[in-house]
Amino acid sequence: MTRPISVVLCTYNGSLFLAEQVRSILLQTYPITELIIADDASTDNTYELIQALAKTDTRIRVSRNETNLGFSANFSNAMSSASCELIAISDQDDIWHERKLETLVFALADACSLIYCNSIHFQGQPIVDPVSNPRIRHIEGNDPKKIAVFNTISGHAMLIRKSLLSMALPVPEGVYYDWWLALWAMTTGQIQFVPEVLVQQRAHENNVTIQKHLSESDLRKQFRLMLNTHLANFKNIGTFKLSDQMFFKELYTLWDASMTQKINWKLFLFLMKHRHAIFYYKLRAFPIISQFKHCFLFSFRFQL
């Protein structure tokens, strides 16, 4: 029996690659009920393109924000408008494998509110036989400490239950919606991972999360500020078990202090103590070396 699925796609100045992504969604082997396209006040011809696409398929629902909300707020609003119990999330410039939804729907366990697949970056033409990054371990289960510092659970690869949104929304300002949803899903059940590469994420200069034009120094500074904002909100998630609440509150306190300190030994010791969870995603032949290096870089601001 087919289960109704809403697909939520948010756009901003994405006309260059949008039609190709919409095509990959509409041609899924598992039929969708609706494709919600929410435009975030684009200044190019994206909205006109969306309107034209909507005329070709009655499943496409179109909306437009009067002012630019930012991608997390736009996704929050668009997901809230979905009518189906299952919701898949899409970026505007990716390409889905035709079996993406079919694979995720049939793999989804009753105890899970979020399942996601593997994905890769590509430039130019899609990769014919994509393979995953052998140095990344994708996270599943219910341990939120494993995504306290780095998130490997991308929105464009997700299928979620709408019931998750009733707990997790609204997404706090400045927080990545996929990271936020993943944490809430972990605190209320399990997260599943399907290792098959079912999304190809296009890398180009206008990506929100792939910022190739920044120097390594600027990326590190940006990361430090970004994580501070996220941890300030993560520590307030009320469904964490007590040990996880204590972990996130202490991590935020130490990280926030490090923003104005050149050396923070307490942060270094905390990261080393929890390194197996915090750096769980890293697959290395000698993990202790990588873990020590990152603990050092995070704790000594003059290195950033």
Write out the DSSP string of the chain.
-PPPEEEEEEESS-HHHHHHHHHHHHT-SSPPSEEEEEE---SSSHHHHHHHHHTT-TTEEEEE-SS---HHHHHHHHHHT--SSEEEEE-SS-EE-TTHHHHHHHH--TTEEEEEEEEEEE-SSPPSS----TTBPPP-BS-GGGGSS-----GGGEEEEHHHHHHHPSPPTTS-HHHHHHHHHHHHSEEEEEEEEEEEEEP-TT-SS--TTS-HHHHHHHHHHHHHHHHHHHTT-TTS-HHHHHHHHHHHHHHHHHTT-SB-HHHHHHHHHTHHHHTTTB--SSHHHHHHHHHHHHHBGGG-
Looking at residue 213, what is its pLDDT? Answer: 60
pTM over 0.85: yes
The residue out of 202, 236, 265 marking a domain boundary is 202
222 in the same domain as 195:
no
Q: Give a yes or no: residue 179 inside a domain.
A: yes
20 and 159 both lie in a single domain: yes
- Are 128 and 175 in a shared domain? yes
Residue-number span of the structural domain to which 253 is assigned? 216-303
For residue 194, being part of any structural domain is answered with yes
Which of 159, 178, 202 terminates a domain? The answer is 202
Residue 185 shares a structural domain with residue 245? no
The pLDDT score that the predictor gives to residue 132 is 79
Residue 123 domain flag: yes
Tell me if 211 is assigned to some domain.
no
Q: Are residues 196 and 268 in the same domain?
A: no
194 and 232 within one domain: no
Supply the pLDDT for residue 207. 56
What CATH number did the domain enclosing 175 receive?
Answer: 3.90.550.10
One domain for residues 149 and 92:
yes
Residues 130 and 50 in one domain: yes
In order along the chain (304 residues), what is the average pLDDT of each group of 10 residues? 92 94 96 97 96 96 95 93 97 95 97 95 80 87 96 96 95 95 94 96 66 70 94 95 97 95 93 96 89 91 51
Indicate whether 44 and 132 sit together in one domain: yes
Same domain flag for 241 and 278: yes
- Verify that 47 and 141 share a domain, yes or no: yes
What pLDDT does residue 303 have?
45
Number of folded domains in the chain?
2
Same domain for 43 and 117?
yes
